């Protein structure tokens, strides 16, 4: 029987590296994206290069109705299957100091990172519980663990994801479904495009910015059967930033 994993925001950056990792673990990877189809197709190509396979599913995780109907359609097309691994990775940042932060910046980040987690996870949860096996991995951030000036919207959303991870893990631990969060530090992706790299590196004990595949390796382990007794954990991948 085919095994399915859904990676939200799988078209670029950390999500892409996670898709490739899960494909190498024999998962049929469902690559979600919102706007950049070409990038999603490139991820699918990389997935196929591992010898695995996948499909692309376009929806905006912050749009509850769209998310539910796309996932329902997927279920209709796969009546005997279920998505056993969910990686809630889609996210954006809209940085600003609290004093200058406009409502749109606050809302968009909360809508995608926090409401997106609810919108995607809830419809998939039932089948995981019925099958008594599942892996939910939420991509949080160091910004959710400590205060990051200029990122109050992002810190609030990522901190809430940490709290939600802990709570959900306890709600369903007896059902064979684990829920964990990964908290990356600074990882080389489009998200860091406008950041002053040298100043950032000076703050990191490892002295360098991380690579997307260094996050994906941990996600892969948490998604594996071997990680069966790890749940409710919040694990930084940050070169020592929060040590």
Q: Which residues are catalytic?
A: 154
Q: Which is nearer to ligand NDP, 61 or 168 (CB)?
A: 61
- Rounded to whole angstroms, the Cα distance separating 53 from 207 reads 36
Contact range with ligand NDP by CB under 6 A, out of 95-103, 166-174, 181-189, 199-207: 181-189
Which residue has tokens 């069966």?
A: 228
- Map residue 4 onto helix, strand or coil: strand
Establish if 138 lies at the interface with ligand NDP (CB under 6 A): no
Establish if 8 lies at the interface with ligand NDP (CB under 6 A): yes
DSSP-derived letter for residue 160 is: H
Establish if 152 lies at the interface with ligand NDP (CB under 6 A): no
Mask for 201-240, x = binds ligand NDP (CB under 6 A): ----------------------------------------
Q: Measuring CA to CA, how many Å separate 222 from each of 20, 99, 169, 231, 235? A: 15, 38, 13, 9, 10
Strands 134-139 and 177-184: parallel
Establish if 86 lies at the interface with ligand NDP (CB under 6 A): no
Strands 54-58 and 177-184: unpaired
Establish if 14 lies at the interface with ligand NDP (CB under 6 A): yes
- Rounded to whole angstroms, the Cα distance separating 6 from 62 reads 16
The HSE-up count of residue 83 (CA atoms within 13 Å, CB side) is 28
Establish if 189 lies at the interface with ligand NDP (CB under 6 A): yes
Q: Which is nearer to ligand NDP, 123 or 184 (CB)?
A: 184
Shortest Å, Cβ 229 to ligand NDP: 25
The residues that touch ligand NDP, with contacts defined as CB under 6 A, are 8-9, 11-15, 32-36, 39, 60-62, 89-92, 112, 139, 141, 184, 186-187, 189-192
């Amino acid at each position: 029987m085919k095994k399915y994993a859904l990676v939200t925001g799988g078209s670029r950056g950390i999500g892409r590296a996670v898709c490739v990792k899960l494909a190498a673990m024999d998962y049929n990877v469902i690559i979600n994206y919102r706007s950049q189809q070409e990038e999603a197709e490139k991820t699918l190509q990389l997935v196929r290069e591992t010898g695995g396979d996948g499909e692309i599913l376009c929806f905006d995780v912050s749009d509850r109705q769209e998310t539910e109907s796309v996932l329902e359609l997927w279920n209709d097309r796969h009546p005997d299957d279920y998505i056993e691994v969910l990686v809630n990775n889609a996210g954006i940042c809209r940085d600003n100091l609290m004093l200058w932060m406009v409502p749109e910046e606050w809302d968009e980040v909360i809508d995608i990172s926090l409401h997106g987690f609810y919108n995607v996870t809830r419809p998939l949860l039932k089948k995981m519980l019925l099958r008594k096996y599942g892996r939910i991995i939420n991509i949080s951030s160091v910004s959710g663990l400590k205060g990051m000036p200029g990122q109050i919207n992002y810190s609030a959303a990522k901190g809430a994801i940490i709290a939600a991870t802990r709570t959900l893990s306890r709600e369903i631990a007896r059902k064979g479904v684990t829920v964990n969060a990964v908290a990356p530090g600074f990882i080389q992706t489009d998200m860091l495009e406008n950041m002053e790299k040298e100043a950032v590196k000076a703050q990191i004990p490892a002295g360098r910015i991380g690579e997307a595949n260094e996050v994906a390796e941990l996600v892969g382990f948490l998604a594996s059967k071997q990680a069966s007794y790890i749940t409710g954990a919040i694990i930084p991948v940050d070169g020592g930033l929060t040590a």
